[in-house]
Amino acid sequence: MRPFFMLIKCHLGKSYQVASALADAEIASEIFSIAGDHDLIVKFYVPETTDIGHFVNEKVHAINGIQDTKTMITFKAF
């Protein structure tokens, strides 16, 4: 499995709804609310053959209440 992270900025007042929708969709490994420029940081695991761009576009961006995202692809865990 291949991990990656996303920073998610939600529309005002929608961060709990977005977090719940991600949890209900069972596509995220971990979901945390954070302070700063973004509202959530989310850890995903996908099979090695998965196109992360398509996954993000089809599974994550389809969730209502998301304003912006930043995807961070990982290389190695220590």
Domains of the chain by residue range: 2-73
Instruction: For residue 19, name the pLDDT band (cuts at 50, 70, 90).
Output: very high
Instruction: Tell which CATH architecture fits domain 2-73.
Output: 2-Layer Sandwich (3.30)
Question: Which pLDDT score is estimated for 9?
Answer: 98
Q: What backbone torsions phi and psi does residue 31 show, to the nearest 5 degrees?
A: -135, 125
For residues 78 and 61, what is the distance between their CA atoms, to the nearest angstrom? Answer: 30
Instruction: With CA atoms as reference, report the closest residue to 18 among 52, 69, 53.
Output: 69
Instruction: For residue 8, name the pLDDT band (cuts at 50, 70, 90).
Output: very high
Model pLDDT for residues 31-40, shown as the tens digit of each residue: 999 999 999 9
